[in-house]
Amino acid sequence: LPQKYLDHPLTGNYAGHRECHITPDWLLIYKIEKDILILSLTRTGTHSDLF
């Protein structure tokens, strides 16, 4: 995937979460809790489903 689709932090309603594109229109929104290896998966879906 192009650089713009790689893992990045989100803002607004999803502040504190991160987003990673599985494919150009399939996103994974997640949050890393503290510095512990706990990954809370928040949502997955197309861009139009999530935003």
Decide if 8 is catalytic: no
Per annotation, catalytic residue among 8, 17, 21, 47: 47
35: Cα separation from own chain's centroid? 18
In which region does residue 20 sit, left (phi positive, over 0), alpha (psi from -120 to 50) or beta (all else)? beta
Residue for token pair 């990045």: 8
Residues with a catalytic annotation lie at: 47
